[in-house]
């Protein structure tokens, strides 16, 4: 029988999982609490109809979720009278079954809930009442559970009007020169490009696809193109282009070099096209500083990264690198 975890052990496990999510974000050159895109519209907890706190909004954002109303499986059952395995599940879950046949994964959030435990004395012995039964003590413990976004992961009645999430964050004005670089490259190379996951910017080598939040979500137009250029630089490492082997494998020594290549390439493209990204300087400084140890251990890393970045820039412009 598996040992039951103590409250402290549960909290530690949850803390480790949260930390890993933040570290993954830092690996993507994003400081979670200072992302270059604007603060999302509120995420709402379906049970209460109240906005989530800052931490859970960050966890939902890191999970790639759009703003919306989120519910647990129990709340879905309560609102619809159906479950994943119960009668009528088709109208609730099946529309969102993924191509691999699996249900939506949902996203973990955290909260503090009441739990009851046996009272113990200073020696660790269980304290009993006059009838010989263990005395119970109530305390708060950090917990986590999965939630699902109504409308994209589950169908069920809403507590919050959908129009609440349809606000335009700001009016954006695409920069023609930068827009042309992006569109020319993805069109010429056949790279997928979209905004499906509004909370994340990444390049997916297996599908050869770039995802960035839409331009309206960024604090400025240059910040948007900075993200585009960074992911475009990553895409030049694909085997059918400049072929930088294992450039996407974390833990491989080439991964650190690849991140520097993408960062330098995006900086070069911004500079050559007269774009300044002052609002994200702190992200860049912290990101570059995070590679200080790698740079010290390999004095040639910056030179290798610089050469790779210039080849990436040339490829983005012309489809080939200078010899």
Give pLDDT tens digits for 52-78: 776 777 788 777 777 778 888 888 878
Q: What is the pLDDT of residues 142-161, one digit of tens each?
A: 778 888 888 777 777 887 76
| More confident: 81 or 250 | 81
pLDDT above 90 covers what percent of the chain? 20
What local confidence, expressed as pLDDT, does residue 144 receive?
82
User: For tokens 């979500």, what's the residue?
Assistant: 217
Total count of residues recorded for the chain: 323
Q: What is the DSSP letter of 126?
A: B
Residue 182: the pLDDT is: 97
Above 60 in pLDDT, residue 246?
A: yes
More confident residue, 252 or 72: 72
Q: What is the pLDDT of residue 275?
A: 85
Q: Given the structure tokens 């009645």, which residue do they identify?
A: 157
Of 127-131, 206-210, 285-289, the poorest mean pLDDT is in 285-289
CA distance 65 to 44: 12
Average pLDDT, the chain: 75
* pLDDT in the model for residue 318: 93
Calculate mean pLDDT across residues 16-36.
66
User: Is 50 exceeded by the pLDDT of residue 10?
Assistant: yes
Whole-angstrom Cα Rg for the chain = 24
Residue with more model confidence, 145 or 96: 145
Q: Is the pLDDT of residue 8 over 60?
A: yes
What's the pLDDT at 313?
Answer: 94
In the prediction, which pLDDT does 89 show? 42
Please calculate the CA angle 98-99-104 and round it to the nearest 5 degrees: 10
| Higher per-residue confidence, 280 vs 46 | 46
- In sequence order, the β-bridge partners of residue 116 are 138
pLDDT higher than threshold 90 for residue 99 = no
Predicted local distance difference test score (pLDDT) of residue 143: 78
State the CB neighbour count (10 A cutoff) for residue 130.
5
pLDDT of residue 123: 82
Look at residue 37 and tell me whether its pLDDT is greater than 60: no
Q: Which helix (H) or strand (E) holds 313?
A: helix 301-318
Pairing of strands 44-45, 69-71: parallel
How many separate helices (H) and strands (E) can be counted in the chain?
9, 8
Question: What is the per-residue pLDDT for 188?
Answer: 96
Question: Which backbone phi and psi does 3 adopt, to 5 degrees?
Answer: -65, 135
**Separation CA 15–CA 142 (nearest Å):** 9
Please check the confidence at residue 173 and state whether its pLDDT lies above 50.
yes
């Amino acid at each position: 029988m598996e040992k039951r975890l103590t409250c402290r052990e549960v909290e530690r496990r949850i803390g480790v999982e949260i930390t890993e999510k933040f570290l993954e974000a830092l690996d993507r050159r994003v400081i979670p609490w200072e992302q270059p895109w604007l603060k999302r519209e509120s995420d709402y907890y379906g049970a209460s109809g109240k906005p989530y706190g800052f931490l859970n909004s960050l966890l939902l954002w890191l999970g790639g979720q759009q703003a919306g109303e989120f519910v647990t499986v129990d709340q879905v059952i309560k609102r619809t009278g159906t479950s994943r395995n119960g009668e009528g599940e088709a109208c609730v879950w099946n529309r969102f079954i993924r191509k691999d046949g699996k249900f939506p994964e949902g996203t973990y959030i955290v909260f503090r809930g009441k739990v009851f435990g046996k009272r113990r004395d200073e020696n660790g012995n269980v304290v009993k009442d006059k009838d010989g039964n263990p005395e119970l003590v109530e305390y708060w413990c950090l917990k986590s559970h999965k939630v699902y976004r109504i409308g994209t992961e589950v169908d069920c009645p809403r507590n919050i009007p959908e129009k609440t999430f349809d606000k335009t964050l700001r009016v954006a004005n695409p920069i023609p020169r930068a827009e042309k670089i992006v569109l020319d490259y993805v069109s010429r190379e056949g790279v997928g490009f979209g905004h499906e996951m509004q909370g994340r910017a990444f390049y997916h080598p297996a599908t050869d696809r770039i995802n960035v939040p839409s331009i309206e979500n960024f604090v400025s137009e240059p910040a948007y193109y900075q993200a585009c250029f960074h992911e475009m630089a990553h895409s030049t490492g694909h085997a059918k282009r400049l072929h930088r082997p294992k450039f996407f494998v974390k833990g491989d020594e080439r991964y650190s070099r690849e991140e520097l290549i993408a960062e330098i390439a995006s900086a070069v493209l911004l500079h050559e096209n007269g774009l300044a990204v002052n609002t994200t300087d702190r992200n860049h400084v912290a990101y570059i500083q995070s590679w200080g140890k790698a740079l010290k251990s390999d004095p040639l890393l910056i030179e290798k990264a610089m050469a790779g970045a210039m080849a990436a820039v040339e490829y983005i412009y012309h489809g080939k690198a200078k010899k």
